[in-house]
Structure 1
Amino acid sequence: MTTEAAAQRLAVANIRHRIEMIAVGAVRDSFPSQQLSVQQAQIGRLLAFVPVAYGNKASMPKLIGMVRTARHIYKRSSDVLHGRSSMVNLPTVLVHEWDTFVETLEDLARS
């Protein structure tokens, strides 16, 4: 594996981890008066809490679209990292697009 390919795979792993943190954070932010212990599992389901947690920060159609996009990126990144995809080395432009999207989602959660 070339250094560039290794860097891309690390970037994909980082994106996947950041989506997991957003999902767990959305569950916690949905119940601000509760002390919740949220497992970092079933991320696709946990992402459903993004509109609940951040519904006052963006329109519902936009938030639902963001959840769908995050689920897609999470699934595709998992497929790549676990060797379930024939394309194990993603194009740089795609990884950059994913990173930009996750930054937007992180900004939403922080604001």
Structure 2
Amino acid sequence: MSTVQQRETAVQRKRHIGGVLLAVENIGLRFGGVQALSGVSFDIREGEIRAIIGPNGAGKSSMLNVINGFYQPQEGSLVWRGRRLRRMRPHFAAQNGIARTFQNIALFKGMTTLDNIMTGRML
């Protein structure tokens, strides 16, 4: 077995996918006459890593802003650890480790990659 395969196997053994931490249920968000999100539903389990991809204007940032409490959806709800929330409040999200990073081409000098990523938790 190669070193790379050994590392991958070790990582797989360590990762435990647990119960649902956050459920996004039928979220709808409008800005005036523009429907930014419609019927968005998914869940995130403990230990999962998720990526969000899509073209410009697809609603990726709007969805993250709902999850972080910066936008209030007109429809749907969020469920955090089994507790239904009409909306997420920014301070509640931060206190519970819900964070995001922003697309940034340049890293902060003198900081490790991990420190640059973790900067999103401080905002």
Check whether TM > 0.5.
no
- Structure with the higher helix share, 1 or 2: 1
Higher RCO (C-alpha under 8 Å, 6+ residues apart): 1
- Structure with the higher strand share, 1 or 2: 2
TM-score (norm: length of structure 2): 0.27
Bigger radius of gyration among the two: 2
